[in-house]
């Protein structure tokens, strides 16, 4: 990877993180629109996020993204300065903008053409907002020292005005922090103060600070009285004084700090434009001041080691790693395990010949310790690959809000188990299927408010997204309390589209009918809607989940709701397989897909309608001979007896029995992908080292099932005379 590409990857990851955070904040904003007053900090956070994104995009020459961020920033600026009011229309535009930003990042990554038209359209919408009448800029209308305004940014000024207008008092807290702990201390102070008011700004005083500490003036707007505040904030060790309100004299002496307070400013508090300390403070605060050049350019910036509140230090203790690097590490470790195996065999061979008894004992001890470390290493790598589903779920809820808004559906999204961890690769591949399922639940599941009321259901629908671990699997369920799937209708459509044989209809169970929704080309909606039905169907969802070694199942009751459940292996890297032999060849079947294995004799197999089947505990099990699907050479077969084994595999709720010659046993294997040159070969999920340097092919049983059952259906259709 060249330097440039590396830079691009870093840019994309960072930008994506910002966009994701924006989406999260928008959801909170959306909630606050419904529940009550909007937290100004939230709006400001969103504004800052967009500002950072703009800078980042500009830096990396992502012009379109920079333009989008710029327009978005202007809008948010108006919002936070109170020039525009938060409305659901505006939120809609914001959601759309975040979605477009995400899409832009994807196109950037794939080098595909960006959605220029969409962005232009959005920018027009962003610009076309109705500007609320600008708030009176009359500072003098307020009883505040005009000197204070001079050092505030437009935003801070706006917040100050809002608070003062609301009848709150403004206080100044003077605090000294140690430079080493300033981040924590400031956060602590902020969280202590937050319930009692709003922090407008904080400015370094530049006074009384020695090399190891810094003194800050914090402007706090609060309903509380001075005495109350002193009591509440005593632990923070701040010197508090009231400012503003009838322009008090600048030489007012500060109220003595409570005992134990650090760094009480003893001299007069000057909070005016003339204070060089404040001017310096503003210069250091950077942020959004470009538009308000109140600071004389001749004032030097403070020395870098005076930590301004916006520190450059990274907040998180995490490292971003390309998953391919982890794969390489994983390969190296499995190679190491193989080398260790060879060493053990060699050791066993020379052990009888060796005479040095104590040396042998030492070797055994070392070898055991080696094994333990190796295992720890394998485990460690696996853990590193695990990520919580939370991020994906957040993206999903964002989409859900947006889709719900467009479809005019009212529902609550209840998410549980976001902390459940899954292999990173699985999370990536889950994104599209889950998105599609979510859209379906909103579009086809949840009814309109009128319909819900008519059906005697609560106006607000509920969609539950649950994830939890169950043994070596993770279950993800998406459940809605909507209209459910009309099986009659599904059957009708399936018949009309020749997806099932009319002769089979009577024998088709309700469960089977529900599973028809996973067939390509089945959509029960008369017309495809805006949201879903854009060509990707549940069949794609099923295929994608099958590729991950997972299965999807559906339950639905008309009028009550629908539940889709995905069962996935926790990791793709290590899976447990059942090793079986067919015609001398070894295959591995993921145990996740195996229900049971039974011994049969050839006489148990009967033929029904040209298909081999057997009776297993009273019900018919469709059989498939691996030797014939894979066209294995039977002449070499060592198995001349009629004894066979049937491995019963599960694909969702469907069963298929695979006939094999011999069962070798269960094994934990490292799953590896087969090279690109064999990508067209269907039926195998990958290959795995089975020991002795031999590779075994891992069967992709859902695909096999699909292949065999679909082939049956096709045959039926061809046999039927055209009508």
Partner 1 sequence: MTTALTKNRAARRVERRAADGGVVTEYLGFRVASNSYALPVSIVREIVRAAHVTPVPRAPAGVLGIASFRGRVVTIIDLGTRLGLTCSIALPAAGPLRGHRLRILMVDIGLETLGYLVDEVLMVYRLSNKDIERATHTLGSDAGAHVAGIARPAESEEVLLLLDAKALVP
Residue 565 is inside which H or E element, if any? strand 561-569
Q: Are 145 and 155 in contact (CB under 8 A)?
A: no
For 72-139, what is the HEC assignment? HHHHHHHHHCCCCCCCHHHHHHHHHHHHHHHHHHHHHHHCCCCCHHHHHHHHHHHHCCCCCCCCCCCH
Shortest distance, position 697 Cβ to partner 1, whole Å: 7
**Nearest approach, Cβ of 576 to partner 1 (angstroms)?**
19
DSSP string, 516-577: GGGSTT---SSS--SSS-SS--HHHHHHHHHHTT-EEEEEEETTTEEEEEEEEES-SSEEEE
CB nearer to partner 1: pick between 355 and 680: 680
Element (H, E) at 422: strand 421-423
Question: DSSP string covering 22-79, please?
Answer: HHHHHHHHHHHHHHSPPPHHHHHHHHHHHHHHHHHHHHTT-HHHHHHHHHHHHHHHHH
Burial classification of residue 481, based on how many CB atoms lie within 10 Å of its CB (0-12 exposed, 13-18 middle, 19 or more buried): buried
Complex with partner 1: residue 3 or 693, whichever CB lies closer: 693
DSSP-assigned states of every residue in 200-218: EEEEE--SS--TTEEEEEE
Select 642 or 673, whichever has its Cβ closest to partner 1.
673
Residue with smaller CB distance to partner 1, 360 or 695:
695
Token pair recorded at residue 51:
């500002």
Say how far apart CA 80 and CA 368 lie, in whole Å: 64
Nearest approach, Cβ of residue 585 and partner 1 (Å): 5
Structural tokens at position 190: 């902020």
Paired tokens of 303: 């020395």
Give me the least distance between CB of 541 and partner 1, in Å please: 26
Q: What are phi and psi of 478, to 5 degrees?
A: -120, 115
Q: Which is nearer to partner 1, 189 or 330 (CB)?
A: 330
Minimum CB separation from partner 1 for residue 332, in Å?
6
Please tell me the chain's helix, strand, coil percentages from 3-state DSSP, rounded to the nearest 5.
Answer: 45, 20, 30
- Would you state the structure tokens that stand for residue 624, as one six-digit string? 């498939």
Nearer to partner 1, 524 or 701 (CB): 701
Of residues 307 and 660, the one with the C-beta less far from partner 1: 660
The nearest distance, CB 337 to partner 1, in angstroms, is 10
Tell me whether residue 327 or residue 429 sits nearer to partner 1 (CB atom). 327
Shortest approach of partner 1 to residue 349 CB, angstroms?
Answer: 20
C-beta closer to partner 1: residue 246 or 694 = 694
Pairwise CA distance, residues 74 & 94, whole Å: 12
For residue 429, the minimal CB distance to partner 1 (Å) is 20
DSSP state of 165: H
**Which one, 395 or 672, has the nearer CB to partner 1?**
672
CA distance 426 to 245: 59
Kindly state the DSSP code that residue 585 receives in the 8-state scheme: E
Minimum Å gap between C-beta 322 and partner 1 is 15
- Interacting residues toward partner 1 by CB under 8 A: 331-332, 334-335, 583-586, 629-633, 636, 672-678, 680-684, 686-687, 689, 692-697
Distance CA 79, CA 159 (A): 12
Q: Smallest distance, Å, CB 700 to partner 1?
A: 12
CB atoms inside a 10 Å sphere around CB 157:
20
Please identify, using beta-carbon distances, which residue of 106 and 329 lies nearer to partner 1.
Answer: 329
Residue 58: is it exposed, middle or buried by C-beta count within 10 angstroms (0-12/13-18/19+)? Answer: middle
Structure tokens at 704: 């096999």
Q: Which helix (H) or strand (E) holds 697?
A: strand 695-699
Based on CB atoms, which residue is closest to partner 1, 199 or 589? 589
Taking the least distance from each CB to partner 1, the nearer of 461 and 696 is 696
Provide the token pair at 91.
Answer: 């939120």
Q: How far is the CB of 64 from partner 1 (least distance, A)?
A: 29
Question: Side-chain half-sphere of 203: how many Cα atoms within 13 Å?
Answer: 26
- Least distance from C-beta 676 to partner 1, angstroms? 5
Q: Smallest distance from the beta carbon of 675 to partner 1, in angstroms?
A: 4
Tokens read off for 165: 């207008």
CB 214, CB 202: distance < 8 Å: no
Shortest Å, Cβ 670 to partner 1: 9
- Strands 684-689 and 585-590 turn out to be unpaired
Three-point CA angle 153, 157, 158, nearest 5°: 120
Q: At closest approach, how far in Å is the CB of 325 from partner 1?
A: 14
**Nearest distance, CB of residue 331 and partner 1, angstroms:** 3
Minimum gap (Å) between residue 431 Cβ and partner 1: 24
Strand, helix or coil for residue 384 = helix
Q: Among 248, 278, 273, 274, which Cα is nearest to 174's?
A: 278
Q: Can you tell me the distance from the alpha carbon of 316 to that of 451, in angstroms, rounded to the nearest whole number?
A: 48
CA angle 48, 23, 315 (to 5 degrees): 55
3-state secondary structure of 650: strand
Which of residues 601 and 637 has its CB atom nearest to partner 1 in the complex?
637
Quick one: 245 or 682, whose CB is closer to partner 1?
682
Q: Which is nearer to partner 1, 119 or 704 (CB)?
A: 704
Complex with partner 1: residue 191 or 676, whichever CB lies closer: 676
């Amino acid at each position: 990877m060249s330097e440039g590409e590396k830079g691009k990857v870093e840019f994309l990851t960072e930008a994506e993180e910002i966009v994701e955070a924006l989406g999260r904040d928008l959801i909170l904003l959306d909630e606050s629109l419904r529940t009550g007053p909007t937290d100004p900090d939230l709006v400001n956070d969103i504004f800052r996020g967009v500002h950072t994104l703009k800078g980042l995009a500009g830096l990396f020459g992502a012009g379109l993204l920079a333009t989008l961020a710029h327009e978005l920033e202007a809008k948010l600026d108006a919002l936070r300065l109170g020039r525009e009011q938060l409305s659901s229309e505006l939120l809609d535009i914001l959601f759309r903008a975040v979605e477009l930003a995400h899409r832009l990042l994807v196109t950037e990554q794939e080098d595909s053409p960006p959605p220029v038209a969409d962005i232009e359209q959005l920018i027009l919408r962003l610009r076309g907002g109705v500007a609320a009448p600008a708030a009176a800029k009359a500072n003098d209308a307020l009883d505040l020292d005009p000197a204070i305004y001079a050092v505030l940014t437009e935003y801070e000024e706006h917040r100050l005005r809002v608070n003062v207008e609301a009848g709150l008092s403004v206080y100044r807290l003077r605090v000294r922090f140690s430079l080493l702990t300033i981040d924590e201390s400031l956060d602590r102070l902020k969280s202590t103060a937050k319930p009692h008011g709003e922090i407008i700004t904080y400015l370094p005083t530049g006074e009384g600070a020695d090399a190891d500490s810094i003194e800050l003036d914090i402007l706090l707007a609060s309903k509380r009285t001075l005495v109350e505040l002193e009591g509440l904030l005593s632990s923070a060790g701040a010197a508090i004084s009231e400012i503003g309100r009838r322009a008090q004299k600048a030489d007012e002496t500060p109220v003595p700090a409570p005992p134990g307070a650090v760094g009480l400013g003893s001299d007069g508090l000057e909070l005016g434009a003339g204070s060089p300390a404040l001017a310096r403070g503003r210069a250091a605060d950077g942020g959004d001041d470009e538009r308000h050049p109140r600071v004389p350019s001749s004032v030097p910036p403070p020395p870098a080691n005076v930590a301004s509140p916006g520190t450059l230090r990274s907040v998180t203790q995490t490292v971003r790693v390309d998953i391919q690097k982890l794969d390489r590490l994983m390969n190296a470790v499995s190679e190491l395990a193989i080398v260790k195996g060879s060493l053990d065999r060699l050791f066993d061979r020379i052990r009888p010949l060796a005479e040095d008894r104590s040396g042998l004992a030492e070797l055994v001890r070392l070898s055991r310790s080696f094994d333990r470390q190796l295992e720890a290493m394998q485990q460690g790598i696996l853990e590193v690959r695990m990520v919580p589903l939370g991020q994906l779920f957040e993206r999903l809820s964002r989409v859900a809000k947006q889709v719900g808004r467009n479809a005019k559906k009212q529902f609550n999204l209840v998410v549980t188990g976001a902390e459940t961890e899954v292999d990173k690769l699985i999370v990536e591949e889950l994104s599209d299927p889950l998105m599609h399922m979510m859209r379906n639940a909103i579009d086809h599941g949840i009814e309109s408010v009128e319909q819900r009321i008519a059906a005697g259901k609560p106006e607000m629908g509920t969609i539950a997204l649950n994830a939890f671990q169950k043994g070596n699997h993770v279950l993800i369920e998406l459940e809605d309390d909507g209209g459910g799937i009309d099986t009659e209708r599904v059957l009708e459509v399936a018949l009309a589209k020749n997806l099932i044989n009319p002769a089979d209809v009577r024998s088709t169970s309700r469960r089977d009918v529900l599973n028809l929704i996973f067939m390509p080309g089945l959509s029960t909606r008369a017309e495809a809607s805006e949201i879903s039905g854009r060509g990707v169907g549940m069949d794609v969802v099923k295929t994608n989940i099958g590729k991950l070694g997972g299965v999807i199942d559906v339950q639905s009751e008309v009028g009550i709701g629908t539940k889709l459940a995905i069962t996935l292996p926790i990791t793709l890297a290590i899976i447990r397989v059942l090793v079986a032999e067919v015609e001398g060849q070894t295959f591995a079947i993921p145990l996740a897909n195996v229900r049971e294995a039974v011994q049969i004799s050839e006489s148990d197999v009967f033929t029904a309608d040209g298909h081999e089947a057997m009776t297993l505990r009273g019900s018919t099990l469709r059989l498939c001979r691996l030797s014939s699907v894979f066209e294995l050479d039977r002449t070499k077969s060592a198995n001349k007896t009629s004894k066979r084994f049937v491995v019963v595999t599960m694909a969702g709720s469907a069963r298929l029995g695979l006939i094999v010659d011999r069962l070798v046993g269960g094994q934990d294997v490292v799953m590896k992908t087969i090279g690109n040159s064999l990508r067209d070969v269907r039926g195998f999920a990958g290959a795995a080292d089975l020991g002795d340097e031999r590779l075994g092919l891992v069967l992709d049983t859902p695909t096999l099932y699909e292949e065999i059952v679909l082939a049956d259906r096709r045959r039926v259709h061809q046999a039927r005379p055209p009508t």
